[in-house]
Structures are given as C-alpha cells and as structure tokens.
Structure 1
Amino acid sequence: MIPALALYGIEKRFGSTRILRGVDLSVEPGERHALIGPNGAGKSTLFNLIAGGTRPNAGRIDLFGAEITRLAPAAITRRGLARSFQSTSVFARLSVFDNLRCAALLAERKRARWWQRFAGSRTVDARAEQVLDAVGLSVRRDVWAGTLSYAEQRALDLGIALAGGAHTLLLDEPTAGMNRSEAARAIELIREATAGRTLLMIEHDMDAVFAIADRISVLVQGRVIASGAPAAIRADAAVRDAYLGAGFGAGLGT
C-alpha cells in the first residue's frame, strides 16, 4: 500500500544549526498518527516542511506517492492536505457558516467565478451544513467566528479543513490551551470528524495522544527515535528516558 504521507531522509538547517537530522516517517491511509517529543525537537519545523511553508535542505516528501517537497503551500492544499496551527486562523468577522462555505469552495473544481459559486452552489452549502453538524457548531451557525470561545474556534479550524475536502490533516496541538473538559470534547470531536481521513498530529497532552493515535512517532533532537503502536511506545525504555519519564503511565492503565 502506498503511504498517505512519507518522509525520506529529511534534513533541515537554519544557519549552522541542524534542526532535523535525517527524518524518515510514514503515515498509512486512514491512520491517526501522533508526533510527540520535547520542546525544540523539531516537530513544528517538520510540519512547516510538509505543508510547504519552508523547504528541506535534503530529503523527499511524498503525498500518496507524488512528491510535494518543493511545492508551494497552495499547491499542496489543492492536493488534499490541510494544516491547522497552534493559534486559530478563522475569519473573525464572518459567520461560522460563511467560514465553512469559504472553505467548501476549495472542494469545488468548477471554473465559475468565485462569487457565482459562493452565491449559487447548492453543493457548497450542503457541504458546509454537513461539516457544521460534524464539528458540533450548528447552534453557533450565524454568529461571528471571532465571538466563539477558544475551544469552539479550534473546532471551527478543524471544520474548515474538512470543508475544504482535505483527505490528509496536520493538526498542531489541537487541545493546547483547553481545560480538561474542553480537551475531552475536542478529543471526541477529532475522533469522530476525521474518521476515514489520514491524520498527523503534534500533541503534548498524553491523554489526547493515547486516546486518538493508532501509531506514535517520537522525535528527539531532530531524529525519530521510536515509532509504533501506543502500547509499544508506552513500554519503550528509550522513549521513557528521552521524553515520557520513568513514571509515565501510572495513571493511564495498560
């Protein structure tokens, strides 16, 4: 099976500082894959490379077997990959529904001018309505996105990626800044709303990681030191020493 996302020997330097040191990573179609590691390990840099925000000094990145290493972010988005950031990126002075309608336009491949598609496309409206329900924001349909709570804006961020037709999602710390109840709702939302899609997620909340991920990779000092099922990562002595800590898992079960 061709991986949904594959990285081969990725190197990245800023000046004389090596950030990524030969990263190999593979995410299978439909897999939920978490990338964890200490601050400064290179996780956000890796996301920037995948999404086209910057280019590696060496290595190759493939999306479903097609190389995207040197494509611009817009071109990568058109190929079906979407990224959410640590901070929200909604259109604050548009309604929740219109944020989703704008995103749904990206899924339309017709050549009509954008305002004609926005005003008249039943497909766009139907897609926006479907995603609105999927991310639990139906009751907030007509309010300005800027008035949503932080957790609701993160849900809308996810909805924008889904409405745009992305089959592969990069989520950067989706539960950051949330309290425990908000994080629990966000975890359930991600599990339900991304069903059938490929997900690569950076997350520091280990409850979220072990609740969502099918597989986990651990990035330390620019290298992947382990990759495997959650149970294997939990039991890996090198991972405990480098990141999780000797006492990790005592309250999480087996």
Structure 2
Amino acid sequence: MTPALQLIGVEKRFGATAVLRGVDLEVRRGERHALIGPNGAGKSTLFSLIAGEQRANAGRIVLHGDDATRLTSAVLARRGLARSFQTTSVFERLPVHENLRCAVLASLRGGAGLSARWLGSARADARVAELLDALGLAHAAQREAAALSYAEQRALDLGLALAGGAHTLLLDEPTAGMNRAEAARAVDLIRATTAGKTVLLIEHDMDAVFGLADRVSVLVQGRVIATGTPEAIRTDAAVRDAYLGAHFDARFNAPGHMRRAP
C-alpha cells in the first residue's frame, strides 16, 4: 500500500547551518506515528516543510503517492493535510461554535465563492455539531474561545485541524503545557477523533507517545536515527545513548513517573 507520507533525503539549511541532513521517513496510511528527539533536532522545521510553509533545499516529500515537495500550505490543505501548532491558533474573540464554523466553511468543496459557501451552511452547521460533541465542547459552544481553559483551547485547536475532513494530520506537541490528568484526556481525545486517519505528531511527553503511537521515529541532529514500535525504541541502545540519556531506565520504569524526555 502506498504510504500516506514519505520523506526522501530531505535537507534544510538556514544559511550555512544545516538543520535537516537527509531525512528519510515513511508514515503508513492510518497509523499514528510519533516523531521524538531533543530540542533543536529539527522537528518543527520538518513539520513546516511537510505543511508547505517552508521549502526544502533538497529531497522529496510525497503525500499519498503524489509529489508535494513544492506545494503551498493552501494546496496541501485542499488535498487533505492539516496541521496544529505548539501554541493554540484559535480566534480568541469568537465563540467556539464560530471558530469551528469558519474552519468548516473554509474547507467546503464545490466552489470558493461566498455564495457557494453560504449554500453549504446547513451542512457546515451539522459538521460543527458533530465536532462539538466529539471534542467535548458542546457545553461551551457559545463561549468565547479566550474564556476556555488551556486544555479546552487545545481541544478546539484539534477541532480546527479536523474541521476540513483532513485524512493526514500533523500535531505539534498536542499535550504541551498540560498537567498529567489533562494530558491523559488529550490522548484519549486524539485517539477517538483521529480514528482511521493518519497522524504524525511531535511529542516530548513519553506517556502520550506510548499511549498513542503505533510507531516512533527519533530525530537527532537533523537525521532519523531509528524507527520502530514504541517498545523497540524504548529498548534501542543507540536511541538511549543519543537522546534519552544515561538515566533512561530510571525515568521510564519508575512507578508514577511522567515519562517525559529531556
């Protein structure tokens, strides 16, 4: 089966500084794939390249069998790729319902004009109602996004990514800034709302990685040094030495730990 996403020899430089040094990565259709690595490894830069926000200096990016290396973020969104960011990107002064409705209307097919979107408003409202239920935000539909808790804003941010019916999602640290209980709920929410979709996520919280990922890739100094199941990555000596550090076993095996990598 054609992979959902392939990166082949992807390189990115900023001036003389090489950030990505020939990244090869394959994400299978329908899998949840975690990308982990130390700060400065190039994870967010890689996401920006995949999402069409920046251009690679070399290599290819393939989305569902089609070359996407030079496509813009707008074109990629129409082709079913959506991204969330480390920080929330909601419209803070709009109600939750209107945040989602704007995202749904922006994604409607059948014409880009205002009249076409207006005619699709009933369909949009039905989709918004589905999202509110799935996100657990129906109770806050008319509340301004700014009035939501941080975890609820992150849930809304996920909803904005889902609103267009994307088949491939890039989630950038979806549990960042959350306490243990909030992160656990976020993991459950992502698992439920992305069923059947392809997910590539950047994450530092190892509880989230082990709770979500089918496979994990480790990016260190701009290169993927290992890919495998969470358990295989957990026991990989090269990963331990290059990223997780000498206290790997203590962090990952202590009862009641958060399993958060450095």
Does the Cα contact within 8 Å between 2:108 and 2:120 map onto a contact in 1? Answer: no
Answering whether residue 255 of structure 2 is matched by residue 249 of structure 1, we say: no
Could you say if the C-alpha distance between residues 220 and 120 of structure 1 is closer, same or farther in structure 2, counting changes exceeding 3 Å? closer
Assess if the C-alpha contact under 8 Å between 1:10 and 1:23 holds in 2.
yes
State the secondary structure of the residue aligned to 1:249.
helix
Distance 2:199 2:222 in 1: 21
Work out whether residues 102 and 118 of structure 1, in 8 Å CA contact, stay in contact via their aligned partners in 2: no
Cα pair 1:101 1:118 within 8 Å, conserved: no
CA distance in 1 between partners of 2:106 and 2:88 (Å): 19
Secondary structure in 1 matching 2:252? coil
The residue number in structure 2 matching 1:236 is 236
Q: Is the 8 A contact 1:31 1:197 kept in 2?
A: yes
**How far off is 1:118 after superposition?**
4.2
Deviation >6 Å, runs of 4+: none
Matched, 1:117 2:117: yes
- State how far apart, in whole Å, the 2-side matches of 1:175 and 1:211 are: 12
1:33–1:213 Cα contact (<8 Å) kept: yes
SS at match of 1:98: helix
Contact kept, 8 Å, 1:106 with 1:165, in 2: the verdict is no
CA distance in 2, matches of 1:239, 1:159: 33
CA 1:119–1:110 in 2, change beyond 3 Å: closer, same or farther? closer
Give a deviation string over 1:130-188, Cα, whole Å, max 9, x none. 01111110100111112111111110011011111111000000000111111111111
Instruction: With the length of structure 2 as denominator, give the TM-score of the two structures.
Output: 0.93
Q: Residues 119 and 140 (structure 1 numbering): CA distance in 2 closer, same or farther, change over 3 Å?
A: farther
Confirm or deny that 1:57 pairs with 2:60: no
CA 1:222/1:140 → structure 2, altered by over 3 Å: closer, same or farther?
Answer: same
Amino acid at match of 1:251: A
- Report the secondary structure of 2:107's partner residue: coil
Q: Cα distance, 1:106 vs. partner?
A: 3.4
Contact 1:96 1:141 in 2 (8 A): yes
In structure 2, what is the equivalent of residue 188 of structure 1? 188
Q: Which letter maps to 1:21?
A: R
Larger mean Cα displacement after TM superposition, 119-128 or 135-144: 119-128
**Equivalent in the alignment of 1:10:** 10
Counterparts of 1:64-213 in structure 2 under 5 Å? 64-111=64-111, 113-114=113-114, 117-118=117-118, 121-213=121-213
In structure 1, stretches of 5+ residues that fail to align are: none
Does residue 39 in structure 1 map to residue 39 in structure 2?
yes
Select between 94-103 and 41-50 the one with higher mean Cα deviation.
Answer: 94-103
Matched to 2:8, the amino acid is Y
Identity, % of aligned positions = 68
Structure 1 CA distance for aligned equivalents of residues 138 and 29 of structure 2 = 29
TM-score, structure 1 normalization: 0.96
The answer for unaligned runs of 5 or more in structure 2 is 257-262
Query: Which amino acid in the other structure matches residue 204 of structure 1?
Result: H
Match for residue 223 of structure 1? 223
1:107 is displaced (CA, Å) by 3.5
